[in-house]
Chain A
Amino acid sequence: MAAESTAGAGTADGLSFPPRAISGRRAALGDRVYTVLVLASVWLVLLLAAGLVAALIWESWEAIRTFGFHFLVTSQWDPVAGEFGALPFIYGTLVSSLLALLIAVPLSLGAAIFLAELAPSWIRPPISFLIEMLAAVPSVVYGLWGIFVLVPWLRDWVQPGLGRTLGFLPLFQGPPYGIGMLAAGMILSIMVVPYITSVSREILLAVPGSQREAALGLGATRWEATRMAVLRYGRSGLIGAILLGLGRALGETMAVTMVIGNRPEIAASLFAPGYTMASVLANEFTEATSDLYVSALVEIGLLLLVVTVVVSGLARLLVWSVGGPARGGRE
């Protein structure tokens, strides 16, 4: 759990960087070596990051040149004919992630409110702990559980049931494969819940007590105090937490690949199989046999990078607006 810290605290006043030698030649040498090592590390990180973006752009250049903007709006994914359009993957990524949010957000916010506001203090640690353990489960394990537990359940119970009751909606039409967009959305929702919950909880806890107390002092019930004072105050932070979950969902690879059906097609029904940007990379990258094919796949990787970075960046801005910056390393 990240310690609460506000910007500036702990910045050494007596220290500067790069360090100036206090005394002696050996100290000067030591300082210099130290400076070199530290700056080398810093620049290494920056170079690697820049190299990453450069490598992606370089590799995808052929596809960018060939297809241009059409890449983003075409649905053809035809390796034989050499025609590539990323729309089915963009669609699949967006729909599965939004479906995940639809399921996860009410649950996560509810749990976060419970943990931050309404829970007796003895219950908080164990439940928080369990939720954080959920975040540690590897994606492939979710996928494994998805294939052998979730999918059969969907195929044998949920999808036929939904088809019978709500089958007039195009969302629930089509044969119950089990595998498909619904399975992917559900697995993703389980995977993003812990992130949204823990960040939301920290946002709510960061709201100054005075807000809550003022409301209570005016005669509000606990829920009303929460609703009017805390939630309103932390609103942008909560939106940030949701966006953080979205960022995770967009980039999730293994669990989705194992249950989504791997079909590059846009379909209205949630029962239909689909494909996401991350999944097509996982499945087809090692075997793309033509340069254009590889380039198209790398372009999808580039798209994925841009989308997740933008969403995560936005999320972070919103979260900081409530809790303050220096939330590091533990998203």
Chain B
Amino acid sequence: MSSATRRFTSTAMGALTLAAALLVICPLLLIFGFLLYQGAAAVNVDFFLHLPKPVGEVGGGVANAIVGSLIMIALAVSLGLPVGILGGVYLAESRDRRLPWVLRFVADVMNGIPSIVFGIFAYTVVVIPMRRFSALAGGLALGLIMVPIVLRTTEEMVRLVPNALREAGLGLGLPQWKVSLRIVIPAARAGIITGVMVAVARIAGETAPLLFTALGNRFWQQGLDQPIAALPLQIYSYAIAPYDDWHRQAWAGALVLITLVFLASLAARLATRGRAVAR
């Protein structure tokens, strides 16, 4: 091959890969564009403040679904946050041989499990014994998705904390639990919170595990042991229904959901920018 051909190939491949990169971004622009176009008109104050109307009637909103999602996210965080952080600290600090390896392996496996399988588990261990669909079951399923994410991110962030900090704490006579809790974790705070926010962004959009745990509720929440509405569930019900008004609300709901998820992801990325090793 002559050198001109080789140089041409190089430029051509450069162009092709650029095209690939642009093509890859296209769907995002298309989807977000469509959401804005279809959903923006439907997003109004009513949408945020009102309950759904009876079938076939126009209007109403998804207020209870938004609150329901927030409630279940809070439940998931109350499981995922402490367990994930403590587990992550353990992974970073322990010098034991086997247990950390097992935990890391299990967490990585859990990261790859489809979320609907967690829904089946929550149905079997919460819904059936409790004899009802509930926010608790939904929160458990979401929490299980959260745990491995927070765990591994915390481990990574805690590993980054310089040893000097730990040694300083020990040198000042602090017991080790205080060093971990009051020095190491706060030092890794930004990264840990990032991990939590990434996990929250992920579970905020989950629908499948809620299908048979939360069930759905057309009214305000009455308690954690009752069925509960959730924004992704509502979007799903509306999307597959035939009513035009429901379609409109589905677009609006999707716009709201994707905005919240994006904001959380964005905040998470901005927070790590200072921490991550520059490329």
Q: How many A-B residue pairs have CB under 8 A?
A: 349
Which chain B residue lies CB-closest to A331? B111
Tell me, yes or no, whether B245 is within 8 Å of chain A by CB: no
Mark A1-20 against chain B: 1 for CB-CB distance below 8 A, else 0.
11111000111111111011
Verify B175–A21 contact, CB threshold 8 A.
yes
Contacts of B279 in A (CB 8 A): 205
For residues 33 through 56 of chain A, which have their beta carbon under 8 Å from a beta carbon of chain B?
33-35, 37-39, 41-42, 44-46, 48-49, 51-52, 55-56
Verify A33–B177 contact, CB threshold 8 A.
yes
- Least CB distance, B152 to chain A, in whole angstroms: 3
Contacts of B223 in A (CB 8 A): none
Q: How far is the CA of A305 from the CA of B235 in the complex (A)?
A: 26
Q: How far is the CA of A159 from the CA of B232 in the complex (A)?
A: 30
- Least CB distance, B36 to chain A, in whole angstroms: 12
Verify A286–B211 contact, CB threshold 8 A.
yes
**Cross-interface CB contact of A330 among B153, B160, B180, B236, cutoff 8 Å:** B153
Which chain B residue lies CB-closest to A134? B28
Tell me, yes or no, whether B243 is within 8 Å of chain A by CB: no
- Least CB distance, A221 to chain B, in whole angstroms: 4
Q: How far is the CA of A298 from the CA of B27 in the complex (A)?
A: 34
Verify A31–B92 contact, CB threshold 8 A.
no
Contacts of B235 in A (CB 8 A): 140-141, 144
Verify B205–A190 contact, CB threshold 8 A.
no
Verify B116–A31 contact, CB threshold 8 A.
no
Contacts of A147 in B (CB 8 A): 239-240
Verify B10–A222 contact, CB threshold 8 A.
yes
Verify A15–B24 contact, CB threshold 8 A.
no
Verify B24–A113 contact, CB threshold 8 A.
no
Q: How far is the CA of A309 from the CA of B111 in the complex (A)?
A: 9
Contacts of A102 in B (CB 8 A): none
CB pairs A–B below 8 angstroms (28 shown)? A5-B160, A10-B161, A15-B180, A17-B94, A23-B175, A27-B177, A28-B175, A34-B181, A45-B83, A45-B110, A46-B102, A52-B121, A55-B125, A56-B121, A115-B21, A133-B28, A144-B239, A148-B38, A205-B279, A253-B114, A278-B114, A282-B208, A285-B120, A304-B114, A308-B112, A312-B108, A312-B111, A328-B108
Q: Which residues of B contact A (CB under 8 A)?
A: 6-7, 9-10, 13-14, 16-21, 23-25, 27-28, 30-31, 34-35, 38, 82-83, 86-87, 89-90, 92-96, 99, 102-103, 106-118, 120-121, 123-125, 144, 147-163, 166-167, 170, 173-181, 191, 195, 198, 201-202, 204-208, 211-212, 232, 235-236, 239-240, 247, 250-251, 254, 257-258, 261-262, 265-266, 269, 272, 275-277, 279
